[in-house]
Amino acid sequence: MTDSGSRQVVIVSGGSRGLGLGILRRALADGLAVATFSRSTSPAIEDLRANDPNAERFWWEPVDGADPAALKKFALGTAKRFGAIDVLVNNAGVGLDGLLTMTRVEDIQRALAVNLSAAIYLIQSCSKIMLTQGRGNIISISSVNAVRGHKGVAVYSATKAALDGMTRSLAKELGPGGIRVNTVAPGYFESDMVGELTDEQKARIKRRTPLGRLAAIDDIVDVVAFMMSPQSRFITGQTIVVDGGITC
């Protein structure tokens, strides 16, 4: 077991790229120990493992988020390696665009498994450890699509809205055990999902956004970092929307 001392230990699901990688890097920069998983590694993960001076506080494993047994094993392994789990960030997710009537069943099943079921199973495993510690902080990455309806993202929206509902219930269920539970709901930000939009679609989103731009990844990471910090210690059961005002 690695002695984490007073250092917080954070699990970030889906930390190999995009928002997850941004959260991971911020946590390491803030002095936290970080465990993450993804289905496969990435150049960024390999570079961090080989060259980053914080690599001794970092652990990555290949895990399929649709496998409940693998998620449980990862949570237990993290607790054994670092001595605790203080924060869980449920970030892993897949997008799914298209009209519901035209969507393949296997694509629906995959979105439900990765975006929702994996989060439930990971929270179940981590919250048991957190309850024995008497402390914990669970943050799930939701979406503005859970707050406002948009054509062509019904299944994706359903998974994210479910995370918001679960958050409110778990805040009451786990609060007496010293565990906070919140979601962060980003609007449109520079990511692989947004990369699939046309320039015209991006321009339309910017026009509908009071602050006049898409979010940068750091705009979202800053809020997640705040929710991981002691400064947010009296916030639980909330969905924090980070969208530049598009849902006003």
Domain range summary for the chain, segments of one domain joined by +: 9-242
Q: What is the pLDDT of residue 5?
A: 52
Q: What share of the chain has pLDDT > 90, as a percent?
A: 62
- Answer yes or no: are the C-beta atoms of 216 and 189 closer than 8 Å: yes
Tokens standing for 162? 């479910």
Per-residue model confidence as pLDDT tens digits over 186-240: 988 876 656 667 788 888 888 889 999 899 999 999 999 999 999 999 999 999 9
Q: What region does 173 belong to: left with phi over 0, alpha with psi -120 to 50, or beta?
A: alpha
Per-residue model confidence as pLDDT tens digits over 165-183: 999 999 999 999 999 999 9
Residue 32 has pLDDT above 50, yes or no: yes
Distance CA 15, CA 18 (A): 8
The candidate with the shortest Cα–Cα distance to 88, out of 49, 26, 36, is 36
Q: What is the pLDDT of residue 40?
A: 84
What is the CATH number assigned to the segment(s) 9-242?
3.40.50.720
Per-residue model confidence as pLDDT tens digits over 135-159: 999 999 999 888 887 787 888 899 9
Q: What is the pLDDT of residue 192?
A: 61
The residue type found at 16 is S
Global confidence as pTM:
0.92
- Sign, CA dihedral 51-55-58-63, equals positive
Helix residue ranges, H only, 31-117: 43-51, 68-82, 105-111
- Enumerate the active-site residues: 156
Distance CA 33, CA 8 (A): 6
Using DSSP, state whether 59 is helix, strand or coil: strand
Counting Cα atoms < 13 Å in the Cβ hemisphere of 231 gives 7
> Cβ contacts of residue 195 below 8 Å, gap of 6+?
none
2 falls in which pLDDT band (50, 70, 90)? Answer: very low
